[in-house]
Structure 1
């Protein structure tokens, strides 16, 4: 599963919004991607789209409990209830009220974008070009930004667990 959002603020709010703290370790990154093939998404933000697959419109609004939205995402992935096979969903985010995508099995659908000099647009959130923008995005939303190393990062610890 790959989650994409329209900008840094929306991405960061989706990741850190529930906790209210962005505990950044060196492994947290922001990457700009581009499609390399057509990607078909089911747009839950279209009026009537949720009802068409048996869900309530609130599913598209991004403010349902995370466990419920995960169950619906899995069901849509497995059952493919749309008229055509889809690669993922387009929905409104819970914490920034903007659009995001949830894509399944998309390794062959996207690649990392590059800048004009050929450098990949993939940087740590602690990078000097990104960190001030992250602070500017999260501070007004009352999400505290802190720093940690990988030994104290819960995500790194989960990834390292056997």
Structure 2
């Protein structure tokens, strides 16, 4: 029988593996590593906006229960290693991607090197007393969020850690849960100085998204704002 993920034993013992998110050494152009798919709104004006409301997602380290604006200002941003992984993380659970005009993708990068606790490598989760299921398993959100708070507060891999590097549950790609480091994350710019932030309904991008999601059995539909629950 496979052992189930239990609550963290606090405080977490020192240990764990570091993974670094490093700024590009040269201008990579419109490379799609790293990306964030998001729904633009007053709370999320661009793809580099951290979320202070929580906890709601896998590695949210917010403290309120039920979810609310974190009183200590804890904030999180999730990014993935390419468009397909980022979109799978957003739409994978529903199995359908309903793309309104406000769905967009930003290409993001670190302004400086950021240390992440690695949960993607062999044995990395067990090094902090957890199991690989913490990153990729169908574990209850309350459990993964409890671990996120323990990692954030106890710093088993050191005080420099700014989040978690992990393998995703849907796209099986790499992703980052970034904590409280908004000043160190930015949207990449093209040669003309424009932010690399695109609407998913753009014809060429939509075709690419449809192909990638079809491979993952996620249906892609375009809808108007009036039919989008997130727009209202």
**TM-score, normalising length from structure 1?**
0.86
Alignment partners' CA distance in 1, 2:182 and 2:167: 23
Q: What does residue 58 of structure 1 align with?
A: 133
Number of aligned residue pairs: give it. 156
Q: Deviations over 1:37-83 (max 9, x none)?
A: 121101111232212222112223x1233513333223322332223
Pairwise CA RMSD of aligned residues?
Answer: 1.7
Alignment partners' CA distance in 2, 1:70 and 1:150: 32
Runs of 5+ consecutive residues of structure 1 not aligned to the other structure:
158-162
Structure exhibiting the larger radius of gyration computed from Cα positions: 2
Runs of 5+ consecutive residues of structure 2 not aligned to the other structure:
1-75
- Quick one: which of 174, 181, 184 aligns to 1:99? 174
Q: What does residue 203 of structure 2 align with?
A: 128
Q: What does residue 118 of structure 2 align with?
A: 43
Given the superposition, is the C-alpha separation of residues 33 and 66 from structure 1 closer, same or farther in structure 2, using an over 3 Å criterion? farther
Contact 1:63 1:93 in 2 (8 A): no
Within 5 A, what are the aligned runs for 1:1-162? Answer: 1-60=76-135, 62-65=136-139, 67=141, 68-157=143-232
Q: Deviations over 1:69-124 (max 9, x none)?
A: 33322332233222343101000011111111110112111111012232211011
Q: Secondary structure at the match of 2:161?
A: coil
Higher normalized helix content (fraction of residues): 1
Report the CA distance between 1:153 and its aligned residue.
Answer: 2.4
**TM-score, normalising length from structure 2?**
0.62
Greater length-normalized contact order (CA 8 Å, ≥ 6 residues apart) = 1
Alignment partners' CA distance in 2, 1:74 and 1:27: 31
Q: What does residue 160 of structure 1 align with?
A: none
Contact 1:6 1:99 in 2 (8 A): yes
Alignment partners' CA distance in 1, 2:216 and 2:171: 9
Alignment partners' CA distance in 2, 1:126 and 1:73: 34
